[in-house]
Structure formats: C-alpha cells, structure tokens
Amino acid sequence: MPATRRSAAKPRATEAARKRYQENGRAIDRVAKSLEHAQADLSVLRGTMGAGASDLRKDLTRLVRDARRDVGKLSKAIRRDLERVQKDLTSAAKPPATRARRGGTRATTTSRSRARTARRGTAK
C-alpha cells in the first residue's frame, strides 16, 4: 500500500486562507473608495444646508473621515496577514530538513541520576 502524503493538506488550507485574504483586501479597497466618494459628496453639500443640518453634516464628515482612516489601518493589517500566510505557505511547501543522528547510546535515567549524585558528593 503506498504511503499517503499528509503534508498536502496544510498547503491547501493556507492556499484557501490566502484567497480569502485577497478577497477581503479587494472588498476593503471597494469600501475605502466608497468612503472617498461619500466624503467628496459631503463637501459638495457644504453651502446648501441650513444651520441645523450643518451640525449634522459636520458630524457625518467626521464619521466618514474616521472610517476612512480605520479602513486604511484594517487594509494594512490584512496585507501583513496575507504576507505571513504566503510565507507560511512557502515554508510548508519546502521539505523538512533532516537532522543527522548522533551515534552512541543515550544514558538511562538511573545512570544520569547516579552521575548527578556522584557530582554532588564530590562538590561538597
């Protein structure tokens, strides 16, 4: 029976995550563009509003400006996450490095504890 490759499952999962991050990045870019248009439209309304509506327009302008700033921060965070996922994807695709085995035998726990006891006795 041929051995199954287990490492293929992880890159597939990270590939799906990478696609989700890219799709999310495009959606955030669309939101940012919409907020830019909304901010431009609010500036057009500046002179045509009465006194009561002017306060509302100022509040709305501040809200849109803050939302644009937050969308920019979110976009940067998603891009960093995408870069990390891509890095993980490339490292998962590489074969694991094999370590050279050292020759010799390992000491058993009783022989190690005897050696420790012997060292304590000579240290006094």
Instruction: Count how many domains the chain has.
Output: 1
1 has pLDDT over 60 = no
pLDDT of residue 110: 64
Residues near 56 by Cβ (< 8 Å), separated by ≥ 6? none
- 101, part of any domain: no
DSSP-derived secondary structure letter, 7: T
Short-list 97, 95, 112, 92, CA closest to 12: 92
44-85 confidence digits (pLDDT tens):
877 777 777 878 888 888 999 999 999 989 888 888 888 888
- 50, part of any domain: yes
| CATH code at position 38 | 1.10.287
120 has pLDDT over 60 = yes
17-46 confidence digits (pLDDT tens):
778 878 888 888 899 899 899 888 888 877
79-116 confidence digits (pLDDT tens):
888 888 888 878 877 776 666 666 555 556 666 666 66
Residue 99 φ/ψ, nearest 5 degrees: -95, 140
- 72, part of any domain: yes
Give the pTM: 0.51
Q: Supply the mean pLDDT for the chain.
A: 76
- 40, part of any domain: yes
- The two three-digit tokens of residue 57, written as one number: 């327009």
Q: What is the secondary structure of 61-119 as a DSSP string? A: HHHHHHHHHHHHHHHHHHHHHHHHHHHHHHHHHSPPPPPPPPPS-PPPHHHHHHHHHHH
Range of the domain at 23: 9-95
